[in-house]
Amino acid sequence: MPKAGKSKHKSAIRIRSSGSSKTGARRVLSSARKRQNESRRATTEINRELDAIAAEYQRKLSKLIGRPGILELDKIRSSRAKATRAQKQRRALSVLKGHGVRPADILELRRPYRGKISELLTPGSDFFPVRIPHFACDGPSVRYSAPYAGYYWSYQWDYSSNSRVPLVEPYVDLAAGGLGSGLRTSAPRPDDSDSTYAEILTAFYVWHTPQATGPLEITVSLEFPQEASDFSGNVIDEFGWSECNHSQYARVLTRATDSQNPAQSDTALLLSENFTDYHDYEGDDWNYKFPKANEIRTYRLTTAATFGEASNVLIEAGIQHVALFRTNDMRVYTNAHLNVRLLGIEVRSCTAPPIPRRKKSRNS
């Protein structure tokens, strides 16, 4: 098992105050940092679950093969003598046969753990492209475009001892509305359970004044310029009974926060692009480019939270970029670029659902 690795996080926030509401801006900044801490804790919890799954698998594998067999396989894996993959595999097969274990037995043992790991690593969405509210959102809309009132970028990563430090490059252009990031991860000399998680978030802010009390409908328009975004990488088998789960994805972030009461907030993440795969025995490489040049995509959120008329509400729109892998004796290299432009944020107030009146009793 690899030794514990390292983790790191960093962020930068700049928000122009809305009028004289410097106190409100400070509240929102404090709330943003709190959410960032919560996100890191959630990531740490997922890593703990993955570590627990890997440890349980290793325990059952040791029971299946026996401690002497595991030590022999580790010796083959870590040997500095020059040997081809085929030579290592023949030696490993001989060890397994000597301990009465077939390769199919190991695959069968792996099956339930593979499903659990894939479930934890596969990204999800908080909402569909359009939420259909149970009340009217037909009020006039206000559209915001660059230059925006502020920006936010952050990154965090966590990696095991045999993985390399992720290379992260957040990018924001406040004047033009450009957002994006570059992200590279790798494990050039993996052991039987190495992993990396790296995340970059880039976003812009606007201040909005609701025209009526009620939920908000927020529409975010993103343009993917001529220079294509892409997810690429490769995995290389090292040992013969290798496997690797990896995922690269982008999710669009939309958030609304009341500056006077930051607890009054609503956030959604919508999966925009995703490349997730599983490999065993054989290596592979990929180069997934997206989308069509100059394609414009629209994402819409109707908040569950209610915001007061004439209040100061901070609207955030951006993109979350994630790369992660979990590998067992497979070298992994991933590289990704996200290049988008926030064309605009459109906001309008929705009519709050009427409060049902109590029927008068006959005795009243």
Range of the domain at 308: 6-14+22-349
pTM passes above 0.85 = no
Quote the pLDDT of residue 175. 92
CA distances from 308 to 95, 255, 352 (A): 70, 16, 11
**What does the pLDDT look like over 57-68, one tens digit per residue?**
888 988 998 989
Kindly state whether residue 125 falls inside one of the protein's structural domains: yes
Kindly state whether residue 363 falls inside one of the protein's structural domains: no
Quote the pLDDT of residue 218. 93
The identity of residue 44, as a single letter, is T
Quote the pLDDT of residue 356. 47
Kindly state whether residue 355 falls inside one of the protein's structural domains: no
Quote the number of domains for the chain: 1
As a whole number, mean pLDDT of residues 240-251 equals: 84
Kindly state whether residue 218 falls inside one of the protein's structural domains: yes
Kindly state whether residue 338 falls inside one of the protein's structural domains: yes
Kindly state whether residue 357 falls inside one of the protein's structural domains: no
The identity of residue 323, as a single letter, is A
Kindly state whether residue 117 falls inside one of the protein's structural domains: yes
As a whole number, mean pLDDT of residues 67-93 equals: 79
Residue 39: pLDDT above 60? yes
Residue 128: pLDDT above 60? no
Residue 313 pLDDT class (50, 70, 90 cuts):
very high
Quote the pLDDT of residue 250. 92
Kindly state whether residue 361 falls inside one of the protein's structural domains: no
By C-alpha distance, which of 31, 26, 32 is closest to 11? 32
By C-alpha distance, which of 33, 116, 89 is closest to 238? 89
**β-bridge mates for residue 275, sequence order:** 248
Burial class (CB within 10 angstroms; exposed 0-12, middle 13-18, buried 19+) of 343 = middle
